[in-house]
Chains A and B, each alone.
Chain A
Amino acid sequence: ERNNLAGVQHILLVLSGKGGVGKSTISTELALSLRHSGKKVGILDVDLCGPSIPRMFRVQDKAVHQCDSGWVPVFVDQDKSISLMSIGFLLEKPDDAVVWRGPKKNALIKQFVADVAWGDLDFLIVDTPPGTSDEHISTVEALRPYKPHGAILVTTPQAVSVGDVRRELTFCKKMGLHILGIVENMSGFVCPHCSECTNIFSKGGGEELAKHAGVPFLGCVPLDPQLSQSLEEGRDFIQEFPKSSAFPPLAHIAQQILDGMSQQSS
Chain B
Amino acid sequence: QVALLDIDICGPSIPKMMGLEGEQVHQSGSGWSPVYVEENLGVMSVGFLLSSPDDAVIWRGPKKNGLIKQFLRDVDWGEVDYLIVDTPPGTSDEHLSIVQYLSAAHIDGAVIITTPQEVSLQDVRKEINFCHKVKLPIIGVVENMSGFICPKCKNESQIFPPTTGGAEKMCQNLNVPLLGKVPLDPQIGKSCDKGQSFLSEAPKSPATSSYRNIIQRIQEYCDQHHFQEEKII
Residues of chain A at the chain B interface (Cβ within 8 Å): 17-20, 24, 48-50, 52, 55-56, 94-103, 105-106, 129-134, 136-137, 158-160, 163-164, 166-171, 174-175, 189, 191-194, 196, 198-202, 223, 225, 228-229, 231-233
Contact = CB atoms under 8 A, between A and B. Distances in A.
A170 B55 contact: yes
B223 interface: no
Contacts of B227: none
Interface string B98-134: 0000000000000000010111101101111110011
Contacts of B60: 102, 106, 133-134, 137
B233 interface: no
A203 B199 CA distance: 22
Given A49-B89, A160-B17, A99 B186 contact: no
A158 to B, nearest CB: 5
Given A129-B90, A160-B17, A196 B151 contact: yes
Interface centre among B11, B128, B129 (most CB of A within 10 A): B11
A262 B69 CA distance: 50
Contact of B160 (A129, A164, A175, A228): A228
18 contacts: A20-B120, A48-B92, A49-B91, A50-B90, A50-B126, A95-B122, A99-B91, A101-B61, A102-B60, A106-B60, A132-B57, A132-B59, A160-B17, A163-B53, A170-B56, A192-B157, A194-B155, A225-B157
Contacts of A48: 92
Contact of B125 (A95, A168, A229): A95
Contacts, number: 189
Given A105-B92, A163-B13, A191-B153, A158 B189 contact: yes
Given A167-B11, A193-B153, A160 B115 contact: no
A95 B129 contact: yes
B151 A225 contact: no
Given A56-B119, A225-B159, A200 B127 contact: no
Contacts of B64: 133
A137 B53 contact: no
Interface of B: 9-11, 13, 16-17, 53-62, 64, 88-93, 95-96, 115, 117-120, 122-123, 125-130, 133-134, 148, 150-153, 155, 157-161, 163-164, 184, 186, 189-190, 192-193
A130 B89 contact: yes
A140 to B, nearest CB: 10
Contacts of A159: 16, 193
Nearest to B120: A20
A228 B157 CA distance: 12
Nearest to B21: A163
Given A97-B126, A163-B16, A232-B119, A133 B193 contact: no
A160 B96 CA distance: 26
